[in-house]
């Protein structure tokens, strides 16, 4: 088998690359080790509404579980901050369908797609990577390609096999544990987030509604915590008297929240999505970032193939860092300060920020946040809280 491009991993980033490159007439193979693309999910399935138009993805009810109109944040002492919009602000997807449909859009654009095909190694000839070794339904195969894309998620092995150092220490990852379950009593038009050092160290507990009485309920905490994420989730459910014997799925996963790969390209190999740790370090959402990176990577793959000049692939690194990397590094700096806030700080912030746009807080646009916080005496009198404001500047 010989292709222009082989893409390893049909999560979010991989199919976007495969679709965009195949659409321009190049031969592309997209593989995934899962027998059914998209399953099992490892995700709370929340995404901003803007990605559909931006990345030319149909707004298809088959993978949209529920439209969401905002968020409610809960502080350790029970203060709430609600942001409710008159328009749909995001959706809770059905990723088992969404990922499969993204792969289908790649197939429709001309890419070949093979599930249950696991990349096991790269093939080198005269020091150059000329393809991958894989197991297709258990049988060893070799796939030759001019360009290799590692879109194989947080545990990415293919980038490492290609000589790209993707190592990060455990502290730079969050551990997540989630039940999709029957849960009642939460406004199903909003996502719900609980903060507190005893609730979710460094992270939050979430309820992302998929129905009036069904939701993804999970927690993310720092991976090097002595207690498990499951411990915190079960504790939260017990403390809130939420019955947990009506569970439809258990989802476990790791989220890279500690920084980004500096070099996203080495010769003819590109790394995208979680494999390159392209995740918003504040809230751990990586789908939109994976799409964005996939779009930039595919643009330069198409250019490189057209010009027959693989040096152009390096522009993916440059453009990603200019467009997204710098912004996300700033979000990371703020997250690092936020993770040292006490429960009292969290109370003050959530109490004070009522009315601020959540997207501004998570997305790194802080001027309104700073103005509001500076009006509060409890913020002004605390050096720790002022330190946060300095990071926001």
Ligand X SMILES: Cc1cc2nc3c(=O)[nH]c(=O)nc-3n(C[C@H](O)[C@H](O)[C@H](O)COP(=O)(O)OP(=O)(O)OC[C@H]3O[C@@H](n4cnc5c(N)ncnc54)[C@H](O)[C@@H]3O)c2cc1C
Binding of residue 157 to ligand X (CB under 6 A): yes
- Binding residue for ligand X, selected from 4, 94, 146, 178, defined by CB under 6 A: 178
- Contact range with ligand X by CB under 6 A, out of 49-57, 77-85, 272-280, 353-361: 272-280
Binding of residue 94 to ligand X (CB under 6 A): no
- Binding residue for ligand X, selected from 3, 4, 11, 194, defined by CB under 6 A: 11
Binding-site size for ligand X (CB under 6 A) equals 40
Give the shortest CB-274-to-ligand X separation in angstroms.
Answer: 4
The CA-CA-CA angle for residues 115, 118, 119, to 5°, reads: 130
Contact between residue 279 and residue 291 where contact means Cβ atoms under 8 Å apart: no
Which CB atom, from 159 or from 369, has the smaller least distance to ligand X? 159
Beta bridge partners of 15: none
- Contact range with ligand X by CB under 6 A, out of 41-49, 51-59, 61-69, 372-380: 41-49
Give the shortest CB-318-to-ligand X separation in angstroms.
Answer: 20
Q: How far apart are the first and last CA of the chain?
A: 53
Give the shortest CB-103-to-ligand X separation in angstroms.
Answer: 9
Give the shortest CB-137-to-ligand X separation in angstroms.
Answer: 13
Which CB atom, from 32 or from 319, has the smaller least distance to ligand X? 32
- Contact range with ligand X by CB under 6 A, out of 4-12, 79-87, 311-319, 379-387: 4-12
Binding of residue 33 to ligand X (CB under 6 A): yes
Question: Between helices 383-392 and 326-338, what is the axis angle to 10°?
Answer: 170
- Binding residue for ligand X, selected from 6, 10, 30, 242, defined by CB under 6 A: 10
Binding of residue 4 to ligand X (CB under 6 A): no
Binding of residue 203 to ligand X (CB under 6 A): no
Which CB atom, from 217 or from 373, has the smaller least distance to ligand X? 217
Which CB atom, from 149 or from 348, has the smaller least distance to ligand X? 149
For 322, residues 6+ apart whose C-beta sits below 8 A from its C-beta are none
Give the shortest CB-219-to-ligand X separation in angstroms.
Answer: 9
Q: According to the 3-state scheme, what is the secondary structure of the chain?
A: CEEEEEEECCCCHHHHHHHHHHHCCCCEEEECCCCCCCCCCCCCCEEECCHHHHCCCCCCCCCEEEEECEEEEECCCCCEEEEECCCCCEEEECHHHHHHHHHHHHHHCCCEEECCEEEEEEEEECCEEEEEEEEECCEEEEEEEEEEEECCCCCCCHHHHCCCCCCCCHHHEEEEEEEEEECCCCCCCCEEEECCCCCCCCCEEEEEECCCCEEEEEEEEECCCCCCHHHHHHHHHHHCCCCCCCEEEEEEEEEECCCCCCCCEECCEEECHHHHCCCCCCCCCCHHHHHHHHHHHHHHHHHHHHHCCHHHHHHHHHHHHHHHHHHHHHHHHHHHHHCCCCHHHHHHHHHHCCCCCHHHHHHCCCHHHHHHHHCCHHHHCCHHHHHHHHHHC
Q: Restricting to residues 137-156, name those near ligand X by CB under 6 A.
A: 151-153
- Binding residue for ligand X, selected from 200, 207, 279, 332, defined by CB under 6 A: 279
Which CB atom, from 131 or from 285, has the smaller least distance to ligand X? 285
Annotate each residue in 227-256 with x if it binds ligand X (CB under 6 A) or - if it does not, as one string. ------------------------x-x-x-
Q: Restricting to residues 45-84, name those near ligand X by CB under 6 A.
A: 45-47
Binding of residue 34 to ligand X (CB under 6 A): yes
Binding of residue 287 to ligand X (CB under 6 A): yes
> Residues in the site for ligand X, rule: CB under 6 A?
8-14, 31-34, 42-47, 118-119, 151-153, 157-158, 176, 178, 218, 251, 253, 255, 273-275, 279, 284-288, 290
């Amino acid at each position: 088998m010989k292709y222009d491009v082989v893409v390893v991993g049909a999560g979010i980033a991989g199919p976007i690359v495969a679709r965009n490159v195949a659409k321009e007439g190049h031969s592309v193979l997209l593989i995934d080790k899962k027998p059914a693309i998209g399953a099992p999910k490892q995700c709370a399935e929340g995404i901003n509404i803007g990605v559909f138009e931006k990345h030319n993805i149909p707004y298809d009810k088959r993978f949209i579980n529920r439209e969401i109109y905002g968020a409610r944040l809960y502080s350790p002492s029970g203060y709430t901050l609600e942001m409710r919009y008159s328009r749909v602000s995001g959706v809770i997807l059905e990723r088992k369908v969404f990922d499969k449909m993204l792969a289908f859009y790649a197939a429709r654009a001309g890419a070949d797609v093979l599930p249950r095909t696991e990349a096991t190694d790269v093939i080198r000839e005269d020091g150059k990577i000329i393809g991958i070794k894989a197991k297709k339904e258990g049988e060893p195969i070799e796939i030759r390609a001019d360009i290799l894309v590692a879109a194989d998620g947080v545990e990415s092995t293919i980038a490492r096999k290609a000589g790209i150092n993707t190592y990060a220490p455990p502290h730079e990852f969050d551990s997540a544990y989630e039940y999709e379950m029957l849960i009642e009593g939460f406004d199903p038009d909003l996502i719900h987030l609980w903060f507190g050092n005893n609730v979710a160290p460094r992270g939050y507990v979430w309820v992302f509604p998929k129905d009036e009485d069904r939701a993804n309920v999970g927690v993310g905490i720092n991976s090097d915590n002595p207690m498990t994420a499951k411990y915190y989730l079960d504790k939260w459910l017990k403390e809130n008297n939420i019955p947990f014997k009506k569970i439809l799925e258990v989802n476990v996963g790791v989220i890279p929240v500690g920084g980004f790969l500096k070099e996203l390209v080495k010769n003819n190999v590109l790394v995208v999505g979680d494999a390159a740790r392209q995740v918003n370090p504040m809230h751990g959402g990586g789908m939109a970032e994976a799409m964005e990176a996939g779009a930039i990577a595919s643009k330069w793959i198409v250019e490189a193939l057209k010009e027959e000049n693989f040096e152009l692939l390096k522009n993916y690194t440059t453009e990603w860092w200019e467009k997204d990397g710098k912004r996300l590094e700033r979000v990371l700096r703020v997250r690092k300060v936020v993770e040292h806030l006490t429960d009292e700080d969290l109370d003050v912030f959530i109490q004070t920020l009522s009315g601020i746009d959540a997207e501004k807080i998570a997305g790194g646009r802080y001027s309104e946040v700073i103005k509001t916080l500076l009006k509060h005496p409890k913020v002004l009198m605390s050096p720790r809280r002022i330190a946060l404001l300095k990071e926001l500047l």
